[in-house]
Amino acid sequence: GEVCSIELLESLQLFAIGYNEYRRMKRAANLGSSERLLKRANSSLFSIATLLDNSIEEGNAGEGAEQLASLNCVQVGRCSGVDNDDGPPDEEAPDDGYYVGCSEDSEEANVGGRINGDSRTAVVFEAAEKHFDRHNKFHKERPARIMSVRDYLSKSTSSSSVGKTILERCHDISVENGTTMCLDEEDYLRVHLPGYMQILDRTSCCCNDRLDDEAEQYKSIYLTNDTVEMAKIAASSLCGLVGDVVRDKYDNGFAVIRPPGHHAEPGYAGGYCFINNVAVAASYAIERLPVRKVLIVDWDVHHGNGTQKAFLDDPNVLYFSIHRFDNGNFFPFSKDAGPRIAGNGDGEGRNVNVGWNDKRMGDDEYLVVFEKLLMPIATEFDPDLVLVSAGFDAAKGDMGDCNVTPECFSRLTRQLKTLAGGKVVCALEGGYVRSILCKCVESVVLALLDGASDDKFKDETKSFYKNLGDKEMLDCIDSSAAKSIRETITVHSQYWQCLKKSCR
């Protein structure tokens, strides 16, 4: 009928606008033939693809058409979770415009008390609205990622909590952290080099051309004058959340923040990362809080090269990464993401890489990595705090060509909650298809909230081994994945007692 005709017209408009933008960017790239223009063309084309995907999955092709029609704009609106075509945000908008707190009628929610038997799970949101790609409003790493997650959690409910959204069941400390938590310069310098931080700080007063020149010194980076301030706010928000969890104000938490951090090396930005949020938080916890040892679990599809470099010789930080490796041919394109990089000096054995050399790795492969490698090593390491570089680009349907489901991320989270007295704090890294990202974050937050997750974990473990029967678990997964896991076990069997009998 009429509705179908309108939807068809909107879909055709969306296609036409996307095709015209494709032609415009291709023509610009061909005429200029410079590396900068080619990068912008590729970035815009990917953004068109993800925007089409998001619009179709969310059943809102009309919104997608409107967004694509305004690709010359450069900023994102507040609160709505969609892009504002009117330019920068209103200067008079309140600072907490994109935050949603716990239900106003619950005093318990404001003091860290338990709600309906849930764990005390805190969340913090930082959309970094002043950090965006000035040349491509719809760059896949943009403020809408955070806004979409917040909006989704503020509407989503679960069968175990009648009448409350997931966000209402959590303790939103965004405003609290934004006004009270500020890291000292030395907190950044435990991870990053002084010269690097000085270079970053100078970008606050650069002209646009200079910002572009600075950005091109790194891999996959864009800059505004406010980028570094936004990155520092993200890191501060995470550290504030970590402090609250360690001091037992909350049981666990999730920092839904940007820009991401795990690609930021001590002296080098890259992969949309400037300050290594999780690395700064780990160092902060050890230096300023009653924490001796920290486990960092990185399940982003990309290797956290920055986090690895920050702690290669540190015996008090165990870094465990599961990622696409492709023999060094997957971003960040480094052979150091392979299994043989195990740490230096006192930190030998504290760096564990499981690198996939093929696509399509899914739930079974990730569950086996946890069962065969991560959980035995982590239990032996006995951390006081677990930090998760929670990227979701390994999720089925995202850009990583893997097939991990939201339910699997939930199971992995339940396993991690059995460590460090349940003190688990997640920080968002990648994940760029918003409809998928929202569901993955939801699954992890629900696992953090679940006060009965230990019992569920035990039941899931029993079921796992019952289904396995007499078979060797590595024989039941992708053969390429099994080979990668065996390579890591071989390297680390000399460092961990729990792996000695697994090495063949």
- By annotation, the residues acting in catalysis are 263
The values of phi and psi at residue 253, to 5°, are -170, 170
Contacts of 18 (CB under 8 A, 6+ apart): 48, 51, 52, 68
Longest CA–CA span in the chain (Å) reads 71
Q: How far apart are CA 82 and CA 313, in angstroms?
A: 44
Q: How far apart are CA 219 and CA 431, in angstroms?
A: 18
- Show contacts of 155-160: CB within 8 Å, 24+ apart: 156/442, 158/446
Q: How far is CA 62 from the centre of its chain?
A: 29
Q: Which pair of structure tokens corresponds to residue 211?
A: 């910002």
What SS3 state is found at 281?
A: helix
Q: What is the DSSP letter of 133?
A: -
Q: Quick one: which of 367, 459, 365, 477 has its CA closest to 412?
A: 367
Q: Which pair of structure tokens corresponds to residue 38?
A: 């080619």
Please check whether residue 258 is in contact with residue 131, taking contact to mean a CB–CB distance below 8 angstroms. yes
Contacts of 117 (CB under 8 A, 6+ apart): 451
Q: Which is it for strands 294-298 and 317-324: parallel, antiparallel or unpaired?
A: parallel
Contacts of 9 (CB under 8 A, 6+ apart): none
Please check whether residue 261 is in contact with residue 273, taking contact to mean a CB–CB distance below 8 angstroms. yes
Amino acid at the residue 429: E
Please check whether residue 388 is in contact with residue 427, taking contact to mean a CB–CB distance below 8 angstroms. yes
Q: Which pair of structure tokens corresponds to residue 376?
A: 């035995």
Q: Which is it for strands 157-158 and 161-165: parallel, antiparallel or unpaired?
A: antiparallel
Write down the residue that tokens 């953004």 correspond to: 47
Strands in 299-367 per DSSP E: 317-324, 351-356
